[in-house]
Structure 1
């Protein structure tokens, strides 16, 4: 059987995953805090028909061997944590991280989730929560009679209440960062979970020890560039097409061999 049939098939399967990844990037172009993914590929094993350095009939060594590759495989889908653009909203509980760091929220199972989506709300108990009701790990509660909320670049949450000229600090937002954020696991709902590959979180205060600052009244949009993704999609589509043509050419070669007459 001609090797190219199976080799080209691996190329088609790899480009299908590439298109799937690009589609997910484009689908989340307006998702707050979304980080796009990129597929990394590796070539497969090679069959050596002649080793480099093999002695020839004249007693010298051949300078190059003969190797036939067996295709490609996806090696990883890597998250790219480049900063997304900011959108001003004016909402006092909208926050964007300018620089490194993740907001920490408590999931229903008690484990901590990490997110760059700063579109927070206030629940019936006054806690600062995500759109799904997951509270900040800092457990900050805003009093019911609050007339104004301000959040500093360092993450200090200040409120103003009736009859009090002074602002009152009700909590401190902390951020987490990882030595290998690409190793985080995407679990949906704009959340990541730590893994052995990401390492444990380092928790700190915004604007200190290399953590980013918090911008109140802004949201970080996804870092997907539509033109770039469309270009990647065209390239993937053409690669899929050319691999399908390689399969067709191999089939035609087999057909011609089958039609040979003595």
Structure 2
């Protein structure tokens, strides 16, 4: 197999992976709190091949040698954590964050983080006089102390910009808890999971990924907007343009592979 065939095959595989990422973005253009992804590529085994010594002539302006490569491959999938637009819903438990913070919920594998703030209440199976604040997957929403937020049943609920969950009962008004708002500092330290959730990458601690202001109970840079939901930050027009570019590049690589195969067949015929 010659270098042109290897380069075309490697490049086609990389283009297919990029197309998969674009398709994922387009499929989630209407997903609440979804963060788009982009791709980064690198050359595969690129090196400079030296010419024969006869090419080294006096007065030559360019150095002898030529570049040999084997296409490109997917190096990384990059999360775009840019804030999406907010849509008003009027539901006091629909929450959107103005800033770079994330909500914390108790997932199956530990604490998970999300920008999707479509919360609701669910009966507490252990105490019928309380309800739990949960997300759309049924995971309990956590407070600053990593404890589930519990609300008296039949209480009126509101959330202020600081994340305080305010409840009103016949006995009066009180604070059921303060939402944990983890302000993101290193997006690369998060791993995307199912259900629009993120978890810490293996070996990393919360202090390494999120700003220390939250851990120290310091002032937050982010605010909570009650009655709003953050929409996906996917730009449909940009993704469609990227998809057309990738499709054309894939077609070009496929033609290069076909041409290389044709030349090999011709060479085999000539030898015969």
Q: 2:241 and 2:192 mapped to 1: Cα distance?
A: 25
Aligned twin of 1:122:
121
Q: Retained in 1: the 8 A contact 2:183–2:222? A: no
Q: Retained in 2: the 8 A contact 1:100–1:210? A: no
Q: Retained in 2: the 8 A contact 1:102–1:116? A: yes
Aligned twin of 1:134:
139
Q: 2:68 and 2:204 mapped to 1: Cα distance?
A: 34
Q: What is the TM-score of this pair, normalised by structure 2?
A: 0.85
Gaps of 5+ in 2: 125-130
Gaps of 5+ in 1: none
Aligned twin of 1:174:
180
1:108-153, CA deviations, whole angstroms, 9 ceiling, x for partnerless residues? 34x100111101110102111111221112122221131x322111
Q: How does 1:180-219 map to 2 (within 5 A)?
A: 180-195=186-201, 196=203, 199-202=208-211, 204=214, 209=219, 211-219=221-229
Q: 2:245 and 2:42 mapped to 1: Cα distance?
A: 17
Q: What is the TM-score of this pair, normalised by structure 1?
A: 0.88
Q: 1:40 and 1:143 mapped to 2: Cα distance?
A: 49
Aligned twin of 1:223:
233
Bigger mean CA offset, 3-12 vs 128-137: 128-137
Q: 1:38 and 1:60 mapped to 2: Cα distance?
A: 43
Aligned twin of 1:9:
9
Q: 1:141 and 1:173 mapped to 2: Cα distance?
A: 11
| Alignment equivalent of 1:241, drawn from 245, 251, 264 | 251
Cα-Cα RMSD = 2.6
Q: 1:153 and 1:178 mapped to 2: Cα distance?
A: 18
Q: 1:62 and 1:108 mapped to 2: Cα distance?
A: 61
Q: Retained in 2: the 8 A contact 1:184–1:197? A: no
Q: 1:185 and 1:123 mapped to 2: Cα distance?
A: 28
Task: Describe the SS at the equivalent of 1:219.
Answer: strand
Q: Retained in 2: the 8 A contact 1:104–1:175? A: yes
- Superposed displacement of residue 200, structure 1: 4.2
Q: How does 1:1-262 map to 2 (within 5 A)?
A: 1-50=1-50, 56-58=56-58, 62-63=62-63, 65-109=65-109, 111-125=110-124, 126-138=131-143, 139-146=148-155, 148-162=156-170, 164=172, 167-195=173-201, 196=203, 199-202=208-211, 204=214, 209=219, 211-260=221-270
- Superposed displacement of residue 221, structure 1: 1.0
Q: 1:46 and 1:163 mapped to 2: Cα distance?
A: 73
Q: Retained in 1: the 8 A contact 2:100–2:184? A: no
Q: Retained in 2: the 8 A contact 1:129–1:135? A: yes
Task: Describe the SS at the equivalent of 1:182.
Answer: helix
- Which structure has more helix as a fraction of its residues? 2
1:187-235, CA deviations, whole angstroms, 9 ceiling, x for partnerless residues? 1111100014683444629x96453110001011111111111111111
